């Protein structure tokens, strides 16, 4: 049976898929350049104010993990390939 594209079932499924997404920042490579912060369309990334890497940078971190869609923009933008996206 045909279902509309914006059916409640599809909306629920999309939400479940979104909830499975997350990013991991490898602090060995992060230099705190903030390019990933500018790249995230949902403004979910910030530099940690509590942590400093071995090289002396405040590393990037995901501030609201529940909102990450796994779009990958941050990982593509990172010049040091420090971000891994899981979905």
Using CB under 6 A, pick the residue from 13, 17, 64, 80 that binds ligand SF4. Answer: 80
Nearer to ligand SF4 by Cβ, of 19 and 32: the residue is 32
User: With binding defined as CB under 6 A, does residue 48 bind ligand SF4?
Assistant: no
Q: Which two tokens stand for residue 75?
A: 């990982």
Max CA pair span of the chain? 58
β strands within the chain, DSSP E: 22-25, 45-47, 60-62, 83-86
Contacts with ligand SF4 by CB under 6 A lie at 23, 25, 30-36, 39-40, 42, 44-45, 60, 62, 68-74, 77-78, 80, 82-83, 85
């Amino acid at each position: 049976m045909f279902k509309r594209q914006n059916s409640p079932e599809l909306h629920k499924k999309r939400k479940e898929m979104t909830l499975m997404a997350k990013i991991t920042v490898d602090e060995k490579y992060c230099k705190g350049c903030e390019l990933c912060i500018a790249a995230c369309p949902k403004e979910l990334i910030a530099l940690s104010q509590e942590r400093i890497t071995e090289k002396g940078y405040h590393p990037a971190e995901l501030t609201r993990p529940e909102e990450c869609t796994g779009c990958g923009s941050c990982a593509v933008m990172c010049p040091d390939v420090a971000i891994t996206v899981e979905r």
